Amino acid sequence: MAGETQKLITSVKVQPDSSWGLDHGAWSVIKHLHPKADVPVIQMSIDYSKDPQYHYDLGKQLAALRRKGVLIIGSGNIVHNLGLVDWKNIRTDNFAFDWALEARQKVNKLILNSDHKQLINFKSLGKEVQKAIPSPEHYLPLVYALALKTEKENISLFNDKAVGGSLSMTSVKVG
């Protein structure tokens, strides 16, 4: 399937890589989806040198895999400011700082309204969102998932809770 992925992506050069296995972003969640570990998994990396629009466009090119039995998963966190985690409250149910709550609500609303333009330009969504997304790597996997949504498809949220004040577990299902 790595080949299928490479073939589909026409606008950029996607290269096979042999130095990376499955990182915790991948295996810590996939393990729960398929505990028998009987589904092959491949990973595609995030090019840190590119802007969010690039990732959105790249995501769109993966669409054909959806019709070949391939489950595409972006794994990250929407609100993710590790430096500001309140470790004393790490076990407190749904504990969010005000700015984190505001950022989560704002982004959730845009997701449910399929306002992809604003979600791609997340850096312009205000200071709360900027604090929630201090670096793009945990947010960009969401951009791939959004890119794959067709106009008519449903989109829903689950695990929509905060952790430790400055993290969110909000997850999204398209289709």
- Please list every residue from 19 through 48 that binds another protein, using CB under 8 A: 20-34, 36-48
Residues with Cβ within 8 Å of 124's Cβ and at least 6 positions away in sequence, in order, are 118
Task: Say if CB 165 and CB 94 are below 8 A apart.
Answer: no
**Complex with another protein: residue 16 or 98, whichever CB lies closer:** 16
Please report how close the Cβ of residue 98 comes to another protein at its closest, in angstroms: 20
Count the site residues for another protein by CB under 8 A: 84
Q: Is 16 in the site for another protein (CB under 8 A)?
A: yes
What gap in Å lies between CA 43 and CA 3, rounded to an integer?
12
146 alpha-carbon distance from chain centroid: 9
Residues with Cβ within 8 Å of 103's Cβ and at least 6 positions away in sequence, in order, are 78, 79, 125, 128, 129, 131, 132, 133
Please report how close the Cβ of residue 68 comes to another protein at its closest, in angstroms: 4
For 84, counting Cβ atoms within 10 Å of its Cβ (0-12 exposed, 13-18 middle, 19+ buried), the class is: middle
Please report how close the Cβ of residue 143 comes to another protein at its closest, in angstroms: 9
**Complex with another protein: residue 25 or 126, whichever CB lies closer:** 25
Looking only at residues 102 through 161 of this chain, which bind another protein when binding is defined by CB under 8 A?
Answer: 137-138, 140-142, 144-146, 148-149, 158-159, 161
Give the three-state DSSP class for 64.
helix
Please report how close the Cβ of residue 124 comes to another protein at its closest, in angstroms: 21
Among 52, 70, 106, 131, binds another protein (CB under 8 A): 70
Among 10, 51, 68, 120, binds another protein (CB under 8 A): 68
Residue type, 35: P
